[in-house]
Amino acid sequence: MTSPLRKSVVSVPVDHRSSYRPFVSRREELGVISTAERAPHIPKLALENVCLSYATNSHSRLVALKNINLEVQPGEFVCIVGPSGCGKSTLLHLIAGLHHQSSGNVLVDNTPAQGPGTDRILIFQELGLFPWLTVAQNVEFGMRMKGIAKPQREANVHDYLRLVHLHQFKDSYIHQLSGGMRQRVALARALATEPDVLLMDEPFAALDAQTRDLLHDELERIWAETRRTIVFVTHNVREAVRLGDRVILLTFRPGQVKHEYRIDLPRPRHLEDVQVAGSAREILNDLREEINKSIEEEYGLEANA
């Protein structure tokens, strides 16, 4: 039996989304499509020998990321896994432009990223929703900051709240929503600014299993309809296999790309699928080696303290 998991293969993902009805964005309605969207062979994101180090309180330098080389194609869903402290979230911050690498290049559409940009939106685990604003006002917030005209903002709020199945809650406040609904508000707010890239930092980690499973389905549907590029960080290997076209495994500090896994499984997938579980087990075997390194270093430091 042929394994659905292929290690260290980098290629344009097979499009499993032909059965979905596409969501037409305002940019597409107006014909505003980037050069990279017309030419899929140009990576949406490219990291070239990216390194990051910083000074510690002991006046030494800690190398957090080392020689990261990675390409993400337009419309691809890439998941990043690795042991705690390997630099997964830091890598998202570099792509988002919130931090700057010590060396190497971060390219967006073959152009060096110069700080934060509305073409890349980072969704934090904490979400950052404003409790004094309604659901609709939260979704509208980013568009107001961009100076988008009110009629366009209202149209986008309507479209994206329908996309995440929250239109009937548009006048509700955040404290009146469940955890899963708040996640969908954050997703709608990010999508409403129509970024090319969604960067998601463990967005479902704090949710119960049932809600997380439902949001997996929602995120996959929204990704298929909007055709956004997604880079998704998670500690949950099975979640990564459930969602990703590829899974990138980082080593323990300094974080480096240890392996890339191409997930050749049909969509939609489910966490309980035998093939999903089998593929996750293979990745977890490689990940466990890096987890052991992190444990050895932690206990080694304690023993020498």
Q: What is the DSSP string of 143-171?
A: HHHTT--HHHHHHHHHHHHHHTT-GGGTT
What percent of the chain is predicted at pLDDT more than 70?
A: 85
Q: What 3-state DSSP class applies to 4?
A: coil
Structure tokens at 9: 């293969």
- Domain limits of the chain? 5-119+199-304, 131-194
* DSSP symbols for 253-272: SSB-EEEEEEE---SS--TT
d(CA 296, CA 244): 30
pLDDT beyond 70 at 7? no
* CA 180 from centroid of its chain's CA atoms: 17
Cβ within 8 Å of residue 89, ≥6 positions away:
201, 202, 233
d(CA 187, CA 189): 5
> What would the pLDDT profile of 23-47 be if each residue is shown by its tens digit?
444 444 444 444 444 455 789 999 9
Considering Cα of 81, then 4, then 246, then 15, what sign does the dihedral take?
Answer: negative
Topology given in CATH for the domain delimited by 5-119+199-304? Rossmann fold (3.40.50)
pLDDT at 8: 56
Determine contact, residues 104/49, Cβ cutoff 8 Å.
yes
* 128: amino acid identity, one letter: G
> What would the pLDDT profile of 101-126 be if each residue is shown by its tens digit?
999 999 999 999 888 888 899 988 77
Q: Is omega for the bond preceding 268 within 30 degrees of 0, making it cis?
A: yes
Q: Is omega for the bond preceding 254 within 30 degrees of 0, making it cis?
A: yes
Average pLDDT, the chain: 84
d(CA 134, CA 160): 15
pLDDT beyond 90 at 257? yes
d(CA 95, CA 196): 12
